[in-house]
């Protein structure tokens, strides 16, 4: 009986604080890791959004050019297409 009381007292005084200290440290590291992962994912998402926005802007510009070609009856169509081809920069490929 006395040894079981001693073991319970030893566990409460020594074992429990050690277990909580190690567990708290592990939990703190896990939270920092999750925070870093969240920051990386946020940065990647912002990069993708910027790429999509730039791509959308280029597509809108091309549509405006095509609309202008189709609606402008005073110019020769093939000459306008060739002129626009020479004026356009190389398209940027999204990877």
38 compared with 89, residue with greater pLDDT: 38
> From CA 29, how far away is CA 16, in angstroms rounded?
20
Averaged pLDDT for residues 12-26:
87
Q: Are 84 and 65 in contact (CB under 8 A)?
A: yes
Cα 26 to Cα 1, 20, 33, 49: the distances in Å are 35, 10, 11, 35
pLDDT for 20-71, tens place per residue? 888 999 999 999 999 999 999 999 999 999 999 999 999 999 998 888 877 7
Tally Cβ neighbours within 10 Å of residue 38. 10
């Amino acid at each position: 009986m006395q040894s079981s009381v001693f073991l319970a007292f030893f566990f409460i005084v020594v074992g429990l604080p050690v277990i909580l200290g190690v567990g708290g440290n592990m939990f703190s590291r896990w939270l920092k890791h999750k925070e870093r992962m969240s920051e990386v994912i946020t940065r990647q998402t912002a990069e993708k959004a910027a790429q999509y926005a730039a791509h959308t802007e280029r597509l809108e510009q091309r549509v405006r050019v095509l609309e202008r070609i189709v609606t402008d009856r005073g110019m020769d169509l093939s000459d306008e297409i060739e002129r626009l081809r020479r004026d356009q920069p190389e398209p940027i490929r999204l990877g």
